[in-house]
Structure 1
Amino acid sequence: MDWRSVEFDWNRARAFLVTAEEGSLSAAARALNMAQPTLGRQVSTLEAELGVTLFERVGRGLQLTEAGTRLLDHARRMGDAAGALSLAARGQSTAVEGHVAITASEIYSTWLLPRILPRLRAEAPGITIEVVASNAIRDLKRREADIAIRNARPDQPDLIARLVAEDRGTFFATPAYLDRLGHIAALDDLARADFIGFDDTPNYIDALRRYGVPVSEANFPVIASTHPAHWQMARAGLGIGVGPCGLGDSDPDLRRVLPDGPFFDYPVWLVAHRELRTNPRVRLVWDVLADALPALLAEG
């Protein structure tokens, strides 16, 4: 075979791989920070090029066909190889300049990182910082980000992680909403409150019940698909929101619903690929984040 005649687009293979791993086009589009129609076209084009059907629709999600299942391992190996190539190339750089992508949750990306970036710009003006605001777990092996700020320790052996801080969240609402709600002295009183939900509200309800908060779907008349939107809805007086104590306590428009909790504690980890630990620009950004995050979380 003349391999020069074979045309292959890695972007289409990556679209197939991430869609298979996420289970739907919408979730894959969010993971890749791509428009869903564009992602769908890439998958369809790959199917046409290969002459196979890779997915079949099941309910609101996608399920791999037999052909798709057979090709998935090949796509994963391609993804690992592409990631290793990119990591190796980036590791050769010795200049403290270039591009560094940081992925963090939506709330940390809008609350904490904007307060750290001026320091990074002052210390390394040659570095271009990309903030990937996402609650999805970004794949550092495939170079979707260089550094991740996560609230759980990763279990992949080729990643390095450092616990840099502990954070705590609780319920917040506007004083006007709490006045309308009436006296709240205990968790049982929250059964008559309106809460602002997320797009995974059933899981949120289950979590709240485990903390002893007596809520049902009837307590969630408003739902937000992002945490920043959730927070702004709480600030608008639409109900009770949840967020970091440092963020809420520093907001003049909000106050804690119950001074004594419940509190939601979670660690803050810095994560990167082992092959990037000697890259000067990534190391500099890592060190600044490790130094700045504990202080910012402590002061709120």
Structure 2
Amino acid sequence: MRAFLVTAEEGSLSAAARALNSSQPTLGRQVSALEDELGLALFERIGTKLTLTPGGLELIQHARAMCDAATRASLTASGQSQSLEGTVCISVGEIFAGHVLPPIIEKLRMQEPGIEIEIVASNSSSDLRRREADIGFRALKPTQPDLIAKKVCDLTSRFYASSGYLEKIGYPQTMEDLCRADFIDFDDTGVYRKYLNDLGFNLTPRNFPVRAESHFLQWELAKSGVGIVTALEMIGDAEPAMERALSDFMLVHSMWLVAHRELKTSRRIKMVFDFLYREFKAICVSC
């Protein structure tokens, strides 16, 4: 049933297989077995996409309810565990994970050697409700009622570029000067450009000639003189090869530590949650 649900959500067996960390043939066999058992065709193929048949549409809500119930049962079981041994999965943005998290994890491992840590370093938010991660570090307060969020601090981000690039464009002093520079974008949706223009810039698509989803790659591109990138002040100011592109301009955003409500009753998860909160809080205070 879960194979059916994820295939319906992803639109293809290959995408569903990646989401479930399975193989496409295995997933195909599971969906076919469900169709045989029910005596019902669940999908029809249109081009490269799978779409639900009328029978599949009727079944999808029941499948989702079953999977949600199974997830809740798993969460309850995890919440009842009082052991300080086991795995805790932490979801955090990749550049923050690479620059800030390692010494914190080293300290945690020394304090609690029975706890294994899995880190999802990604700019996409893991779904805590579906157990893609146990604890998440977020730039926005979640609105879902079954998540618990604790504000850690306010962090400051700024524009950074290599000294060579800033010298080449004449060390911009105003927002208007910066509108003649190249920025490194995340994707081709224009969301980042709109965000900056809402803050008073007048940027066009020509200001974003290079795109990279990876923050690490963005940072390395900027260090090589490709353009301007946004980064946390605590990371940007510590890099000798980089300078602030507009020293008096900054972006302030709140940072939240998030966990599922039922997971907070687990001694293991609660211990890691509280430990991360203290360590992140100390970093923010020192900055």
TM-score by structure 2 length? 0.87
Larger mean CA deviation between 131-140 and 63-72 belongs to 63-72
Offset, 1:29: 7.7
Gaps of 5+ in 2: 36-40
Q: Partner amino acid for 1:15?
A: V
Shift of 1:215: 1.3
Tell me if the contact between 2:136 and 2:259 (Cα under 8 Å) persists in the aligned partners.
yes
Q: CA deviation at 1:234?
A: 0.9
Cα deviation 1:98-154 (Å, max 9, x = unaligned): 000011122222222223101110110000000012222322222111111111111
Q: What is aligned with 2:162?
A: 174
d(CA) in 1 for partners of 2:111 and 2:5? 35
8 A Cα contact 2:104 2:279, kept in partner: yes
How far apart, CA to CA, are the structure 2 residues paired with 1:193 and 1:254? 16
Asked if the contact 1:54/1:67 (under 8 Å) is kept, the reply is: no
Q: TM-score, normalised by structure 1?
A: 0.83
Aligned to 1:192, what secondary structure does the other structure show? coil
Aligned counterparts of 1:121 and 1:73: Cα–Cα separation in 2: 42
Q: Structure 2 residue aligned with 1:19, among 10, 35, 55?
A: 10
> Given the alignment, which residue of 120, 131, 134 partners 1:143?
131
Name which of 230, 238, 248 aligns with 1:242.
Answer: 230
Check the 8 A contact 1:82/1:142 in 2, yes or no: no
What is the alpha-carbon distance in structure 2 between the residues aligned to residue 155 and residue 183 of structure 1? 41
Q: Is the 8 A contact 2:171 2:245 kept in 1?
A: no
Letter of the 2:259 counterpart: A
Aligned to 2:266: 279
> What runs of 5+ residues in structure 1 fail to find an aligned partner?
1-7
Say whether the 8 Å CA contact 1:170–1:244 is kept in structure 2: yes
Q: Distance between the aligned counterparts of 1:247 and 1:231, measured in 2?
A: 10
Letter in 2 for 1:157: P
1:150, 1:270 within 8 Å by CA — same for their partners in 2?
yes
What SS does structure 2 have at the residue aligned with 1:277? helix
RMSD: 2.7
1:288 alignment partner in structure 2: 275
Which of the residues 205, 216, 221 maps onto 2:204? 216
- Residues of 2 paired with 1:247 and 1:201: CA distance? 26
What letter corresponds to residue 42 of structure 2 in structure 1? V
CA contact (8 A) 2:8 2:50 kept: no
Asked whether the 8 Å contact 1:100–1:282 carries over to 2, the reply is yes
Aligned-residue offset at 1:280:
1.3
Q: CA deviation at 1:272?
A: 1.0
2:67 aligns with: 79
Percent of residue pairs identical: 38
Partner in structure 1 of residue 76 of structure 2: 88
Residues of 2 paired with 1:111 and 1:24: CA distance? 36
> Is the Cα contact below 8 Å between 1:195 and 1:239 reproduced in 2?
yes
SS in 2 for 1:141: helix
Q: In the alignment, what sits opposite 1:52?
A: 42
In 1: Cα distance, 2:17 partner to 2:181 partner: 34
Which of 99, 110, 130 is the equivalent residue of 2:98?
110
* 1:106/1:133 contact within 8 Å kept: yes
CA contact (8 A) 1:233 1:239 kept: yes
Provide Cα deviations, 1:243-283, integer angstroms capped at 9, x if missing partner.
1111101111111001100x222111111111122211111
Distance 1:68 1:153 in 2: 35
Residue 5 (structure 1) aligns with? none
Cα distance, 1:223 vs structure 2: 0.9
Deviation at 1:231, TM superposition (A): 1.3
